[in-house]
Each structure stands twice: as structure tokens, then as C-alpha cells.
Structure 1
Amino acid sequence: MTPITGTAAGVPFTALPPAGDGPAPLIATWHMLDAPRSDAAFAAALPMHDVPAWRVHLGMPMFGARMVDGSMDAAIALLQQDVLMAAMHPFVRQATEEFPAALASIREQLPVDDGPIGVLGGSLGGAVALNVLACTEIPVFAAALVNGAIRMRSVIDLFPGDYPYDAESERVADALDFVAGADRIAGRAPLLAVSGELDHPAFREDAADLVAALGDGAELLPIPGLAHPLADEPGIEPAPQLPLAKQVDAGLTAWFRRHLAA
């Protein structure tokens, strides 16, 4: 299917239509900050062609079409300034807060039905998907994460040096710990945590912990040989799907098809 590109309430998107005519359900996704680091590249890595739903891949703030002057330099500067309070937290907060208006705009532009949606996030995009579950009342039929940023402290620990937490940054990190806050998303939707067996060890542990904390309705899908990224660098433009991304794609396709049928 030929991708459809556009903007929904200021949010750039790459949409892949389902086969057939008429209104269809929607799966909204948020990409990684690692490769693939744009909505177009994420759509190419995880197209989920056999899912009978619109897959609308949304651009994260400061990435893809929202890069400043067509460069990653501004985003990198924020990461260097304060990885949590200048970068990770604002990215997740903005993507979450802008989603309801973007969803309404998508429904105006595309033949998307008005039923519950699916949500999918890769890496930091996973924190957005979880935050949508925790902080909005948007009905969701199924959710999925791929090497998701489930505990923000695990993300911060990947950066060199000891992060200088204070009262405010501790509060933010706590709010973006979805294992400790599993009660905020329990019962919202079935959740699949796709976890690369070569991903960061803390991310793998967090995925297992989240599935255990959520209990019934949550599943863990390990992918042998998969590290954190899903595409080769630079990861901004669409690229041929890698073999391991194809395995992830198959797992996500089966997951969303199962819950759409249900």
C-alpha cells in the first residue's frame, strides 16, 4: 500500500491503509529515538500490512519532519543540556498532550471508525503509548511496546554520568515509571511487550516486570538476536525492512489481529 503523508493538528504522520473499502479501526504508533527515528521510517520497519486497520505512524517532537532546520542538532543539544527535563520528559509530555487533537483530525481526514484504537510505541514512543493509557480516557482495544521505555530511570541510566536528580525530576521519573504505576494502566487494554533479547538489560527487565505487574491480559514476546534499534542508521528515511524487524512485525500483526477479531 502506498503511504499517505499528512499533518493532524500539527503532528506529522505516515498512514498505511488497510485492504478494502469503508471505515476501519485505527492503530496509532510513536517511533523510537533510535533508528527508525521518524514516522516514515517506523512505518517502513513495522508496516503490519496484514492488519485490517489503518496504521497511522505519528512523528515525535523534534524528530523526522519536526527536526529543526532539517537536522538532529537541536534535539541532541537538548539531550546534552538535561536528558530528562529538557528532552525525554518534554518529548513524552508533548506527544501525549497533542494526541487527542491529532486523533480527532485523523478521523476527519481518513475513513477511520469511531471505535477503540490500538496504540504502539517503540523505545521512547513506548512511554508515549503507556502515557496515553495512563493519562487519557481514549478507549484502546490493544496496546503494544517494542523495546519500550517503561521506566524512565532505565533510559536516563543509559547516558554517561550520574544524573543530578532533584525533587522535580524525581517526581517526573516516578510518573514515567509504569511498573511502579502499573495500577494506572491495569485493565485499560491488553498489552504486548516485545523485547529484544539483545536489548539493554534494564529494558528487558522492565518489560518482564511490567507484564508481571499487569497480570492477565499482558504478554511478553522475546525476539532472539534483536538489539534495541529496528533499522540501520541513520534511520530517518524509509528503508527496507530488516529480517529481525520482520519478526517483530509478524508478532505485532498477530497480536492486533487477535484483538481486532475479539
Structure 2
Amino acid sequence: MSSPLTGTAAGVPFTAVPPAHDGPAPLIVTWHMLDAPRSDAAFAAALPMNDLPAWRVHLGMPMCGARMVDGSMEAGLALLRKDVLMAALYPFVRQATEEFPAALASIRARLPVGDGPIGVLGGSLGGAVALRILADTETPVFAGAVVNAAIRMRSVVDLFPGDYPYDAESEEAVDSLDFVARAGEIAGRAPLLVVSGELDDPALRADAFRLVDALGSPSELLSIPGLAHPLADEPGIEPAPQLPLAREVDAGLTRWFRRHLPKLPPAVM
């Protein structure tokens, strides 16, 4: 396999994995988890999708990987402790979504991916970014997928200790990231594969089922026996050997995206 390419696209760190063949190919963009694997390079190693004839460009989430403060996740963890929703989860998703158009334009200028529809993939909090790209942007998407995703941000907030003190601003923010309620905005955009580990948090798993039910065909659920929330071992920052359960997720994603990959127009080939 070709070695990954690393760099920044409009200020966003990325790890890009080329297809096995030379020349133009479709593009799949991903956003990683805050759990392991918690960097673009680590996510690329956990879910390489090596058999896909497509570029896989893994974007770094805010304050993760190359954007960690002083080489540590501590600054991001401090924001989670300060205000889990309005200091961390919501602004992270908002920033990743807002910086995406410029990053995509930079990627298109640098890699032979053409200007057609893309695939989107997100894990955990990165799943909320992928879903927001579908719900809130007009970026053409041929297929999407999420893995153990933050589908309803209220469910994620509830995983943290204590009762969150919602006010009007935070209610609006958390409702904007309820993609079960927004399924109608996603359904017409692209088919979505929702991957859920059978040992993931029960609330997150219930949200996965609700989203697939709300979307209907051709979206699908892929349930992975034995899989908890993370896809890699701690600390999950550097690339690591692929775990057996991550390999099962990887195989399911590869089948899904291969089924939906667009054909590049003759002028681009």
C-alpha cells in the first residue's frame, strides 16, 4: 500500500491515504473520535479501508492530534470539565463543520479527486460532524457512514456526571445536533450506514436504531458484536495496529462505500 500523505488543508491537519491504483479516484472524508483513535493519523490506521479504489482523507478534529495544546489532550479535557456542551462538544462540531469547505477546496486543489460528490465518515463526535455536513450543507455526498456516533448530543451530554444546566442557548445548541429529529433533512441527501457496537453505551446504541428507522431505505444499520465505544487502544493518538473488531468495522465500511462509489467522468480519468 502507498504511504499516507500528511499536511494541512486550509489549516486543518489531515492524513490522506491514496488508492492502490494510480490516477484520479473518488474522495472520502472522515472525522475521528475523541475516544481512541483520537487523531486523524490514528483513525486512518484503525479504519484504513485499503481495498477501496478511493482517496481517504482523514481530517483532524479541533484540539486533537497536531492541534493539541502543548502536545497533550489536557486542554481539551479541561474544556469538557468546564462545560461539556458549550465549551467543548458543540464548538468542536461547529468548528469542524465551518472549516470543512475551505479544507475540501484545498484537498481538491492538491489531490486527483475531481469535483464530484464525496463520501463522509465520522466516528463518535466526528459522526456528528459528518451528519451536520449532510444536514446543514449543500456539499454533494454520494454516501455517508457513522460509527458509534454522537447522533443525539443530549445522549452524549448525559454520559457525563451531574445534571447539565440547560438554558435557552444550550437548548438551541443541543437540539441543532439531534439528528434523529433532523432525519428528514438527511434522508434525501445520501444513503447512510450507521455502525453501532453492541457494547456501546445503551443510549448511543438506541439513538443509532432510531436514526436508521427514521431514515428508512436505503440507509442501513450494521451492528458489530463485542464492540464497545473505542476503535483502538489507549492512548489512541499515534497510529497503531488495527484491532480485530475495528477490522470488522473496516470491512463493513469498505463494502458500503464500494457499493456507492461514483464513476469519475471520462474527462477526469
TM bucket by the smaller chain?
Answer: over 0.9
Q: CA deviation at 1:113?
A: 1.4
What is the distance in 2 between the residues matched to 1:85 and 1:257? 37
Q: How does 1:136-147 map to 2 (within 5 A)?
A: 136-147=137-148
Q: What stretches of structure 1 of length at least 5 have no aligned partner?
A: none
Equivalenced residue count is 262
For 1:225, the equivalent position in structure 2 comes to 226
Is residue 131 of structure 2 the alignment partner of residue 130 of structure 1? yes
Q: Single out whichever of 175-184 and 232-241 deviates more from structure 2.
A: 175-184
Q: CA deviation at 1:44?
A: 0.1
What is the distance in 2 between the residues matched to 1:234 and 1:21? 34
For 1:74, the equivalent position in structure 2 comes to 75
RMSD over equivalenced CA pairs, Å: 0.8
What is the distance in 2 between the residues matched to 1:84 and 1:218? 29
Q: CA deviation at 1:182?
A: 1.0
Describe the SS at the equivalent of 1:91: helix
For 1:169, the equivalent position in structure 2 comes to 170
Map Cα deviations across residues 177-216 of structure 1 (whole Å, 9 max, x no partner). Answer: 0001111212100000000000000111000000000111
For 1:206, the equivalent position in structure 2 comes to 207
For 1:193, the equivalent position in structure 2 comes to 194
What is the distance in 1 between the residues matched to 2:81 and 2:173? 18
Q: Single out whichever of 18-27 and 204-213 deviates more from structure 2.
A: 18-27
Q: CA deviation at 1:112?
A: 1.1
What is the distance in 2 between the residues matched to 1:75 and 1:237? 17
For 1:21, the equivalent position in structure 2 comes to 22
Identity score, percent: 81
> What amino acid sits opposite 1:44 in the alignment?
A
What is the distance in 1 between the residues matched to 2:262 and 2:131? 23
> What amino acid sits opposite 1:97 in the alignment?
E
> What amino acid sits opposite 2:255 in the alignment?
A
TM-score (norm 1): 0.99
Map Cα deviations across residues 218-245 of structure 1 (whole Å, 9 max, x no partner). Answer: 1000000000000000000000000000
> What amino acid sits opposite 2:3 in the alignment?
T
TM-score (norm 2): 0.96
Judged with a 3 Å threshold, the aligned counterparts in structure 2 of structure 1 residues 95 and 261 are, in CA distance, closer, same or farther, namely closer
For 1:37, the equivalent position in structure 2 comes to 38
For 2:154, the equivalent position in structure 1 comes to 153
Map Cα deviations across residues 29-87 of structure 1 (whole Å, 9 max, x no partner). Answer: 00000000000000000000001100000000000000011111110110011000000
For 1:86, the equivalent position in structure 2 comes to 87
Q: CA deviation at 1:124?
A: 0.2
CA contact (8 A) 2:127 2:150 kept: yes
> What amino acid sits opposite 2:79 in the alignment?
L
CA contact (8 A) 2:142 2:262 kept: no
Q: CA deviation at 1:261?
A: 5.8
Describe the SS at the equivalent of 1:185: helix
CA contact (8 A) 2:26 2:262 kept: no
